[in-house]
Chains A and B, each alone.
Chain A
Amino acid sequence: MSAVMITRKVRKWEKLPGKNTFCCDGRVMMARQKGIFYLTLFLIVGTCSLFFAFECPYLAVHLSPAIPVFAVLLFLFVMAMLLRTSFSDPGVLPRALPEEANFIEMEIEAANGNVPSGQRPPPRIRNVQINNQIVKLKYCYTCKIFRPPRASHCSICDNCVDRFDHHCPWVGNCVGKRNYRYFYLFTLTLSLLTIYIFAFDIVHVVMRSVDQGFLNTLKETPGTYPFRSEYILCVCAPCFKDIRNHEDKTSHYCCG
């Protein structure tokens, strides 16, 4: 009777050659450097907890309980979007297996012909017609594929990502096709949350000042300074700059 060997199946994420880290049995996929992501978490959670601890009781009593409720919902939405952006696959393109890589090499050599020694070979480009426009597809030397339109190679994660926007250190992951919507919603709702907290900070300070005078207000409520929501803005601003910069690149194909 032959012995049955049960071999553990190797998962795809365990074989992925890029510089990603995985958790929770492959459900979480992030870049290697996560320091700035932890800072983002700390800033958002920290400022919101100060808001909930110091301002919300006063505002709930003197204005309306709906204010902290809406703030909590917005905060939960922001956290959900942040975690979804950070932990999901941005749209990594699998590298070419050896047979496909060889096939592409042969195709390139056939297209380029014989290059005399000493001369640099022409760049590896494949011309493709998309809706009557010629688009040049570039060859990725690491992944050994011709990148589809709007794909790009992230040098930090060492992967080709489909519809690559940028690698966001605040989020600890690349932003590409599969997590763009979460990233966009994250920056949008984070801005809303920042403006909301800032506005109610001011309302709180004004209301207290009317009762007690401005200096007394500052003495009594150390966590009230509206400027702490500026810390969250530090996160928003670079991310918005990234989206704005890439609007040109990610919208249309230009020929030439």
Chain B
Amino acid sequence: MAETHSLQDMRQQAAVAAKVFIQRDYTNGTMCQFQTKFPSELETKIDKQQFEETIRTLNNLYAEAEKLGSQSFIEGCLACLTAYTVFLCMETHYEKVLKKIAKYIQEQNDKIYAPRGLLLTDPIERGLRVIEITIYEDRSFTR
């Protein structure tokens, strides 16, 4: 019978070898973007293309969250007129996209990063300052 190991099992069993911190990329202003430069510690662990794809998708999601379109304008006006009580019933556009980002990170961890002994931490947990990638010690999981 094939054994499947969940993320929690791995975190409890494995020891942390190192942590890599992807810093914010401020070249285009103060919008939330992260550097796509591939860190040297991950060279043996994961494909460069996949890593850059993950970071690029995250950057696009954050850009979508902070986008000032007609929807966010209407949402803002409605909220102001109702003394922000409207947010007792609905979520802001930013919160909706943050949830999408959390789901995307979870999905990436399950599919790509956990099988390689890595773990992405949602940057919102670190105040949108860094993306923390935990490298776990290389132990064989298959028997």
Contact = CB atoms under 8 A, between A and B. Distances in A.
Interface of A: 76-77, 80-81, 84, 92-94, 99-100, 103, 128-131, 135, 145, 148-150, 162, 182, 185
A77 B126 CA distance: 34
12 contacts: A77-B83, A80-B85, A94-B127, A99-B19, A100-B132, A103-B19, A130-B27, A130-B29, A131-B27, A131-B28, A148-B24, A148-B30
Contact of B84 (A80, A145, A148, A150): A80
Contacts of A94: 125-127
Contacts of B19: 99-100, 103
B84 A182 contact: yes
Determine the main DSSP class of A at the interface with B: mixed
Contacts, number: 44
**Interface magnitude class on chain B:** 10 to 19
B127 A162 contact: yes
Contacts of A81: 83-84
Interface of B: 16, 19, 21, 24, 26-30, 80, 83-85, 125-127, 129-130, 132
A182 B27 CA distance: 30
Contacts of A103: 19, 21
A93 B127 contact: yes
B83 A130 contact: no
